[in-house]
């Protein structure tokens, strides 16, 4: 099995790194170095690690210094290269890294995710089958307090345990996914004004071409969102992105979009109640906090409804989503 693992490159975006501390980023970099070393010990050549960032090329040196300070072992197990994309948004950075990759497979990971043991082997193994084009990993939110537990329960990532059905239906996790390099080079993440829309559009493109998305037990955890400012902004963006997906995948008809905003509000409100009441114990949440968690979840998706309805009804302009400076932690 070991010799059959494919050659690969890793594309690491640094857009999310603007909103978390370097010591947290360092945890993920050390975990990535560990996973690369394990795969290399099986005989797979040292990969190229493409660090894609939204600043000018002059920032390459600062990024290299920060990475070497936090995870000096990373430069030993991978060939680090830097790809500048001034002003690039999240998916721009992912596409920007493709041209510098080598090998059979491109692995995508984010700067605010941390690989669990066995992640990289699990993500690469399905590519032993020649027909595999895309392998999607399992991303879940870490949690350590009331709000992060609530986010873990209501978020679009499945829970770490006991959520297999939801995990099997997940759209592509752009922070934990791998593609055949020749395919993704010809099918980059689609351009869209949304914040997290392009991965869903790419998933549908894969399916239209008849490619099966392989779901692997390749696990990473994502740092939890923090703060009310993020809560407010992300809820509105979630709603606006839902409308953008409807336009791209179903219909641009304004009346249908408005109706969808109401039906989605109802669906997600019920989903929130069901998930919090049935899965809260798995997060360690005390029973007395469950009603408050439900209330927070319903507030989130009510704000999402206003974002969805506002864009569907033409009350707000469809502008490219950028993370505001006030958000703080993504």
State the 10-residue block means of pLDDT for the chain, 330 residues long: 80 82 92 98 96 94 93 96 94 96 97 96 96 96 93 91 79 94 97 95 96 94 86 96 98 98 98 96 95 98 98 96 71
pLDDT at residue number 330? 42
Burial readout 207-216 (b: 16 or more C-beta within 10 A, e: otherwise): eeeebebbbb
pLDDT at residue number 163? 80
d(CA 163, CA 168): 9
User: Which residue segments constitute the domains of the chain, with CATH numbers given?
Assistant: 2-222 (3.90.550.10), 228-312 (no CATH)
Q: Cα-flanking dihedrals φ and ψ of residue 291, to 5°? A: -60, -35
CA angle 310, 193, 184 (to 5 degrees): 140
d(CA 229, CA 309): 21
Reduced to 3 states (helix: H, G, I; strand: E, B; else coil), residue 80 is strand
Closest CA relative to residue 235, chosen from 151, 153, 162: 151
């Amino acid at each position: 099995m070991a010799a059959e693992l494919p050659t690969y490159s890793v594309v690491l975006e640094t857009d999310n790194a603007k909103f978390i501390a370097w010591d947290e980023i360092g945890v993920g970099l050390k975990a990535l170095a560990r996973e690369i070393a394990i795969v290399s010990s099986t005989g797979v050549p040292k990969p190229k690690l493409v660090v894609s960032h939204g600043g000018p090329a002059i920032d390459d040196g600062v990024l290299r210094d920060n990475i070497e300070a936090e995870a000096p072992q990373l430069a030993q197990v991978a060939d680090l290269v830097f790809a500048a994309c001034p002003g690039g948004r999240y998916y721009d950075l992912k596409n920007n890294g493709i041209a510098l990759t080598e090998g059979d497979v491109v692995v995508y990971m984010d700067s605010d995710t941390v690989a669990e043991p066995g992640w990289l082997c699990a993500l690469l193994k399905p590519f032993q089958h020649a027909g595999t084009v895309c392998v999607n990993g399992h991303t879940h939110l870490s949690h350590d307090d009331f709000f992060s537990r609530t986010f873990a329960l209501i978020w679009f990532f499945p829970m770490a345990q006991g959520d297999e059905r939801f995990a099997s239906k997940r759209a592509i996790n752009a922070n934990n996914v791998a593609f055949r390099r020749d395919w993704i080079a010809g099918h980059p993440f689609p351009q869209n004004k949304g914040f997290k829309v392009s991965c869903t559009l790419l998933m549908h493109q894969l399916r239209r071409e008849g490619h099966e998305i392989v779901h692997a037990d390749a696990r990473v955890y994502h740092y939890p969102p923090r703060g009310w400012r993020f809560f407010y902004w992300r809820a509105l963006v979630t709603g606006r992105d839902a409308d953008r997906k409807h336009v791209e995948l179903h219909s641009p008809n304004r009346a249908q979009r408005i109706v969808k905003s109401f039906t989605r509000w109802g669906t997600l409100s019920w989903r929130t109640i069901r998930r919090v009441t049935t899965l809260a114990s798995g997060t360690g949440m005390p029973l007395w906090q469950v009603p408050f968690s439900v209330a927070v979840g319903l507030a989130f998706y009510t704000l999402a409804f206003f974002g969805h309805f506002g864009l569907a009804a033409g009350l707000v302009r469809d502008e490219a989503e950028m993370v505001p400076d006030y958000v703080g932690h993504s």
